[in-house]
Chains A and B, each alone.
Chain A
């Protein structure tokens, strides 16, 4: 089941399938958001945006509009 990261419920571990092309796609890659990487959704800011994910033991926050570029599978 493919989905974009902004639709994933909290406390779920998912694997990144692909990162869509966008002006910030190289930056997402540099932060370690690459296909095959397993990440876990941790918590959301009040109002649901931005969200925080765990990636290789560190916590990264990204806006919903940034999370939309990231396709994941459970």
Chain B
């Protein structure tokens, strides 16, 4: 049996879902659409049933593309997801608005349980509800009270479901003689809502007694500070800063452990499996590929830990409220702020966080520009190139020039994120008009159980959906870097040279790696594309690193180290920098100059050099169209910008 969970946003619907299913839940898609379908198992009298969590909506008629799944499923009895029973969660402290949607559900004639959640909050607000009178309004509907945030009400809901009977055809509709409106007929929907609200208001007179609370509520007092024109922004900036500090300081350690774990694993497998192709595939392709997926988990988990807390507490809606006006001219929305800011840590969780944006156009634009924000993977590239080409001097005696350049690179990313969204706003067409109509719920303490489940869900989604693509691309990159038409010959040639034979074992293996990489398919592509990248000031060795760093931007540093046959011990880049300084072009001029260095940095600001981001965009937009468009426009922009800076500076 299928049981649908329906209700308004901010009614504690997901708390009820977590309460009923515990950890027995999974995320998938509703058939044919990109809307997340959270479902779980509830056992009623030992028999397992599927509980499906629908998006929280204010009406059966959708506000956005994502919400239309509610209408599509409920209005069509033949739909594969059509429920046999419904659990409707209503906020006990705001019955009038919640009952509007409920009365529509009631009239569908599907057996239904009405859950009055947040019962404690209603009492604190001085609202008394007569269950008997409410039952008279909706005959034959079991009504239960719950307080899901603290785990109360599970048994009552399950009992009501177990005793639920089919709706008799004799039962009168709440709104007599009413049939569902057409989805496009907004005028008829307005009329229907007015008629229902009128009946509900009339009926509630007997149900609800409100004793107005004395004075201003705590939430109103907190709002005075949090949406204040000055303190509001300052506090938001402080909250963001704290979150980034946490992510930067605490995600690093687990990421290093994961790196170490997977490099030990591939070391172990390369010594255990019989040497040959299978060994190479496992130890250099598959294991590092999986490592490249898992390494993002600490950042994703931490970011969603904080976002869930902000969301649960009610602060996130205030952020949307104070940022909405600032983001709108760019075709974005107040809800775009957190995804974009999150992308400064990593675009992957940032793009995953765009789900809260209900308007498709605004969400798409946010996804498309998020990778312009300079993520943490660009830092190794920036710091290497800055220490290579930017002198360690002070402007006006106090402004550190290197720091200033770093700041400039970050700003460049932010400016272009906004500029490009402005352009996309003009190009992407959509009939649906964006609107806000956002509830600002009362402030609450976050429930750790909900936070934990949300983090787990996001991590699982990333590993299962985006992980596949990342793994596939890593294996392709491994293949291209490990094979070449005449790699063996070149390696053999090197081993015969006198200089090679006079090297130590360690130097030999470093030189051999460099030789193999430059003779691999990637090496050939790098050489082949030299004419294309030469106008930017790059040679084929940089070209190779550009291709390999498509796996992840920071790979650029490691690749250069391999090509220049310098030992790369991660922390200390001095050896590599010294080697890069001496690198000369055929005509004897240095490869890394101010012009080519800046050009490279600018290239990394703009280029979509991250397969994991592409995989996540594919997942979130459910097609290859948008990630490919993104790859191309970011690539073109990167090329033009890098070329311009090279020409200007040389």
Which residues in A have some Cβ–Cβ distance to B below 8 Å? 19, 21, 23-32, 34, 42-43, 45-50, 52, 56-63, 66
Contact = CB atoms under 8 A, between A and B. Distances in A.
With most chain A CB atoms within 10 A of its CB, the pick from B101, B233, B321 is B321
Contact of B440 (A26, A28, A52, A57): A52
Nearest to A28: B437
With most chain A CB atoms within 10 A of its CB, the pick from B61, B210, B435, B441 is B435
Nearest to A23: B433
A61 B321 contact: yes
A27 B437 contact: yes
B440 A46 contact: no
Contacts, number: 118
A23 B96 CA distance: 23
Contacts of B197: 29, 32, 34
B219 to A, nearest CB: 8
Contact of B97 (A19, A27, A32): A32
Contact of B96 (A19, A32, A47, A59): A32
Q: Mostly helix, strand, loop or mixed at chain B's interface?
A: helix
B190 interface: yes
A26 B186 contact: yes
Given A56-B97, A57-B93, A58-B94, A29 B194 contact: yes
A30 B437 CA distance: 10
Given A26-B187, A30-B97, A48-B325, 10 more contacts: A30-B59, A46-B228, A46-B230, A47-B326, A49-B324, A50-B325, A58-B97, A59-B439, A60-B438, A62-B436
Interface in B420-472: 433, 435-441
A35 to B, nearest CB: 8
B437 A62 contact: yes
B619 interface: no
16 contacts: A19-B190, A26-B59, A26-B187, A27-B63, A30-B59, A30-B101, A30-B193, A32-B197, A46-B232, A47-B229, A49-B324, A50-B438, A52-B321, A59-B223, A61-B436, A66-B435
Q: Mostly helix, strand, loop or mixed at chain A's interface?
A: mixed
Contact of B437 (A43, A46, A60): A60
B325 A34 contact: no
Nearest to B122: A57
Contacts of B186: 23, 25-26
Given A60-B439, A66-B435, A26 B193 contact: yes
B15 to A, nearest CB: 18
A63 to B, nearest CB: 5
